[in-house]
Structure formats: structure tokens, C-alpha cells
């Protein structure tokens, strides 16, 4: 392993926001583990792009973060390949397969969305944090970090996808909890909260939000991009905020601002 090599795990790193994050971390000379659930070709492409952007090494690891055993294997394989974990980016997430009124939300959709968006990241973070503490005590890593990618939906109510909103609101609290618990251990934890980002997840509502953004919904009148989110994660990963933990970094063009 190269001297000074830093290693990042990015869940859901093969597409969308995750891929934007992978590219920015690669440019910062992180070796990157691209976690993916099903699309191996997309993960391989993201790994190749990471090497082109400057990553010393990249590796795709298939694991469904909702499966706790798969999450543990993700950690074990990363350690076996790289010997360290300096950064975990909890990015993987799904929207409901069908948007339903709150009164019609199904248990199946609830379990799927919260399993991937909330339960999985909680227990993966638990496993990675324990590993980081051991690595810190051994002197293998210095100043490791955990970053949660949540959503504007953690604070904005959308009654046709309540399960998604609950999952992201819960994940925001998970970030606060781990920030509080891990500060004494020397691990900083922060949250990056994207707004309306142009990805495959938002393709189905593209026309609606084109009109709403043009009408002033977002003060900076454009869609956000995965690169916008990646740059925010990169600023944190590059140790630009060494005295900051438990903070929420909005990447939403000002959407969160209250205005009359």
C-alpha cells in the first residue's frame, strides 16, 4: 500500500450522486471502494473513471447495505484489500417504487425503503466506526471521517412518499448520534443534505421540477448535479473542516431557506 494512501468506501457509488462523490474523492487521491447493489458494469465504469481521475486504486464490491451480513463483508473485504478505512460515505438510497398517498403507504414499501436508507447505514456505520477506532489505536489511520448523504426530504414533507421522508429524517438523526458518540474517539461525522439533484432517481419528475425551479422554487434557479454534491463531500474529505462535526451541509441552491 502506498505511503499516505487514504481509503474511502462509497455506498451506492456506481451511479448518480454516488458516482459524483467517487470522482471527487479520486481527484483527492483517495483509493475508492465503489459499493453497488446490482449493476456491476456501472461499478466497473465508476472504478475506471476513479483511476482516470487520480485514485491510486479502486475496487467495486457488491453488497446490499440492507443486508447486515453483506455490510460486514463489505468492511472485511475492504480491510483485506487495503488494510484501512479512512472515510465512509453513506450514500446508498432508494425512493419508493411507486409514489403513494400517505394513507395508502404499504408495509412492503416501508420496509424496503427504510431497510436500505436507514437500517443498513446505521449498522454499517456501527461496524465501520468500531473498525476505525481499532485502526486509530493501532496508528494505521489519522482523523477518519464518516459522512451521511441525506436529502432535503429529511426536513420537507412529501405526503406521496412518506416512507422516503421518514428514512431521510431518521438518517439525519443517525448522523447526529454518531457525531456525538464518536467525537471523543477522534472520528468526525457530518451530513451532506442534497436538494433537487438531476439523477435517474428524479427522471420521472423532471418536467414538474423544471417548471417549479423556473418559477423560483430554488433561489439558485437550476437543478443540482452529482458533482455539486461530490464537491461538498470532497471538501469535508480533504480536511477543510477539521473543527466541525455533527454539521449539516446543504447542497440545495438555497431551497432550505425560509422566505416570505
- Sign of torsion over alpha carbons 60, 62, 65, 70: negative
- Taking only the tens place, the pLDDT of each residue in 119-173 is 999 999 999 999 999 999 999 999 999 999 999 999 999 999 999 999 999 999 9
Residue, of 204 and 34, whose pLDDT is higher:
34
> Hey, which residues are catalytic here?
164
Mean pLDDT, the chain, rounded, equals 96
Hey, what's the cell of 136?
486509530
Per-residue pLDDT, 200: 84
For the cut 60, the answer to whether the pLDDT of residue 99 exceeds it is yes
Specify the fold of 6-251: Rossmann fold (3.40.50)
Per-residue pLDDT, 1: 42
Helix (H, G, I), strand (E, B), or coil: what is residue 227? helix
Residue, of 172 and 4, whose pLDDT is higher:
172
Rounded distance, CA 69 to CA 132, Å?
Answer: 18
pTM of the model as a whole: 0.96
Domain boundaries, the chain: 6-251
For the cut 50, the answer to whether the pLDDT of residue 215 exceeds it is yes
For the segment 83-109, the average pLDDT, to the nearest whole number, is 97
- Taking only the tens place, the pLDDT of each residue in 173-210 is 999 999 999 999 999 999 999 999 999 888 888 999 99
Helix (H, G, I), strand (E, B), or coil: what is residue 103? helix
CB contact at 8 A, 181 and 226: no
- Nearest partner of 127 among 181, 88, 169, 170, judged by Cα: 88
Rounded distance, CA 228 to CA 250, Å?
Answer: 11
**202 to 17, 62, 207, 238: CA distances (angstroms):** 11, 24, 10, 29
Helix (H, G, I), strand (E, B), or coil: what is residue 187? coil
DSSP letters spanning 80-93: HHHS---EEEE---
Non-local (6+) Cβ contacts of 165 within 8 A are 153, 154, 156, 157, 158
- Nearest partner of 46 among 26, 30, 63, judged by Cα: 26
Kindly give the pairing relationship between strand 58-62 and strand 87-90: unpaired
- In residues, how long is the chain? 260
Amino acid at each position: 500500500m502506498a505511503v499516505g494512501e487514504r481509503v474511502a468506501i462509497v455506498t451506492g457509488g456506481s451511479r448518480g450522486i454516488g458516482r459524483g462523490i467517487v470522482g471527487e474523492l479520486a481527484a483527492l487521491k483517495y483509493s475508492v471502494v465503489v459499493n453497488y447493489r446490482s449493476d456491476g458494469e456501472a461499478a466497473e465504469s465508476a472504478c475506471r473513471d476513479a483511476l482516470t481521475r487520480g485514485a491510486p486504486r479502486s475496487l467495486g464490491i457488491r453488497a446490499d447495505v440492507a443486508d447486515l451480513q453483506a455490510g460486514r463483508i463489505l468492511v472485511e473485504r475492504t480491510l483485506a484489500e487495503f488494510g484501512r478505512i479512512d472515510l465512509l460515505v453513506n450514500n446508498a438510497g432508494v425512493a419508493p417504487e411507486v409514489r403513494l398517498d400517505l394513507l395508502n403507504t404499504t408495509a412492503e414499501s416501508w420496509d424496503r425503503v427504510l431497510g436500505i436508507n436507514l437500517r443498513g447505514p446505521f449498522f454499517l456505520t456501527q461496524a465501520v466506526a468500531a473498525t476505525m477506532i481499532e485502526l486509530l489505536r493501532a496508528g494505521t489511520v489519522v482523523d477518519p471521517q464518516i459522512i451521511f448523504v441525506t436529502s432535503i426530504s429529511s426536513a420537507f414533507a412529501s405526503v406521496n412518499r412518506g416512507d422516503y421522508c421518514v428514512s431521510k429524517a431518521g438518517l439525519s438523526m443517525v448522523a447526529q448520534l454518531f457525531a456525538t458518540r464518536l467525537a471523543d474517539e477522534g472520528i468526525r461525522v457530518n451530513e451532506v443534505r442534497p436538494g433537487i439533484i438531476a439523477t435517474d432517481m428524479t427522471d420521472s419528475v423532471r418536467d414538474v421540477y423544471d417548471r417549479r425551479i423556473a418559477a423560483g422554487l430554488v433561489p439558485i434557479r437550476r437543478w443540482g448535479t452529482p458533482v455539486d454534491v461530490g464537491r461538498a463531500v470532497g471538501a469535508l474529505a480533504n480536511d477543510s473542516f477539521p473543527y466541525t462535526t455533527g454539521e449539516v451541509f446543504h447542497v440545495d441552491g438555497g431551497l432550505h431557506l425560509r422566505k416570505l
